[in-house]
Structure 1
Amino acid sequence: MSFEHWLAFAAASAVLLAIPGPTILLVVSYALGHGRKTALATVTGVSLGDFVAMTASILGLGAILATSAEAYTVLRWIGGAYLVYLGIRLWRAPVGDGPLADNDNLREQSPLRIVLHAFAVTALNPKSIVFFVAFVPQFIDATQPFLPQMIVLEATFVTLAAINALVYALIADKARVFIRKHTVQRAVNRTGGTLLIAAGAVTAGYRKIAA
């Protein structure tokens, strides 16, 4: 793989990842509710989710989802339902009267639980898997060995995804300083919950565009 191919892939991936989606909404909601102490768990979950989705695409799952309506429907309904569940939980989350801080009185979340949430939201997105099938081959040099190129591309994408999630988490953590009123905290929870529910509905209702 030439440096030009890699650079084009890295640039396209960075632009794609910067666009907020269900994964970033989850990362931001955890950071707003619990601060930067959740960043490691959410970044780990996002990285593992992207790794699994990209690997599954490489191994052929993406091709199956692209051609099998039944498999695609099952996966998008599972992913959509999980996003709706998380959105409802965030909507109903309790809020406090004081400013949010790392020593607040919000109920603690197990790091493993956060990792699994972020992993599920990232990996159970059928559009991501189908996207990898359509996106990655454009940067493969057919004259070069396949496996080394895939290792480089996958490592690049997962690393950029982790950095992107970390940046969003840190930004959201800084925003917590300005969230002091009970009504503002509730509005943040309900806005984030609504967006997650909407993302779940869109995921569940997504239809592949016929070629």
Structure 2
Amino acid sequence: MDPALVVAFVVAAFLLSVAPGPDMLFIVANAAAGGRRAGLVSAVGMSTGLAVHTVAAALGLGALIAAAPEALAVIRVAGAGFLVYLAVSSWRASRAGAAEEQAGPVKERSLRKLYAMATLTNLANPKVVLFYLAFLPQFLSHGHGAWPIPVQLLTLGVVFIVVGLSVDGTVGFTAGSLADKLLGRPAVRRRLERASSLIFGGLAVRLALDSR
């Protein structure tokens, strides 16, 4: 691969990662409701989803999905429905009051569930599929001596994941650290959970209405 293209890709990936978007909002929402560990687990879950998208792009599955508008519509509806479920779950948790198990640290089972939710949220976003199709090919090398296209796509995907995880992990850790200082207060915890619910709901509406 052309080193100049790789450097340009790293810069572009960083700029895209620091720009606030649905993934970052999802991470912040979970960090606010669950603390530092929840923020970090959400970031790792998002990166896992990106890893799946990377492999799919290398295998040509992304192009196949993008060629079928009905498939993207199904993915969009499923993603919006999943975000609505998260919004309702967060709101119901906020109404549970200051029960001891709610006020305590996030349990390991909750972290595993959160990881799965973050991964599924990323996978259910059709914009990620279209992003990979439009963005990665711009940094592919062609001609004699160039790596096979699937290998280049995998390499660029790994670079994107590393950059994105570094940014998302920092955001999740920072937001979670601030939340950890407040989660011991039941009233504040309920407000944070309701704020998370509103963020999830807003993301669901955005995904459902976004047909581009």
Counterpart position of 1:191: 195
Matches within 5 A, 1:41-120: 41-94=41-94, 104-105=103-104, 108=107, 110=109, 111-120=111-120
1:15 matched residue in structure 2: 15
Q: How many correspondences in the alignment?
A: 204
Whether the 8 Å CA contact 2:40–2:173 is kept in 1: the answer is no
Maintained 8 Å contact 1:58/1:133: no
| Equivalent residue letter for 2:195 | T
- The residue type equivalent to 2:175 in the other structure is A
Asked if the contact 1:76/1:126 (under 8 Å) is kept, the reply is yes
Residues 1:203 and 2:207 are matched in the alignment: yes
Moved more, 69-78 or 10-19: 10-19
Change (3 A) 1:21 1:89: farther
The answer for the alignment partner of 1:6 in structure 2 is 6
> CA–CA distance in 1 between the matches of 2:21 and 2:192?
17
**What secondary structure sits across from 1:204 in the alignment?**
helix
Instruction: Report sequence identity in percent.
Output: 28
Instruction: In structure 2, give the amino acid aligned to 1:168.
Output: V
In structure 2, the CA distance between the partners of 1:41 and 1:195, relative to structure 1 (3 Å rule), is: closer
Contact residue 39 and residue 166 of structure 1 kept, 8 A: yes
Q: TM-score, normalised by structure 2?
A: 0.84
* SS of the residue 2:93 aligns to: coil
Report the AA paired with residue 161 of structure 1: G
Q: Secondary structure of the residue that 2:141 maps to in structure 1?
A: coil
| 1:145-166 alpha-carbon deviations (Å, 9 max, x no partner) | 2243223211101111221221
- Taking a change above 3 Å as real, the CA distance of residues 193 and 109 of structure 1, as seen in their structure-2 partners, is farther
Q: What is the Cα-based RMSD across aligned positions, in Å?
A: 2.5
CA contact (8 A) 1:80 1:204 kept: yes
What TM-score comes out, normalization by structure 1 length? 0.84
Match of 1:157 in 2: 160
Q: Is the 8 A contact 1:57 1:130 kept in 2?
A: no
What residue ranges of structure 1 are gaps of 5+ in the alignment? 98-102
Q: Which segments of 5 or more consecutive residues in structure 2 lack a partner in the other structure?
A: none
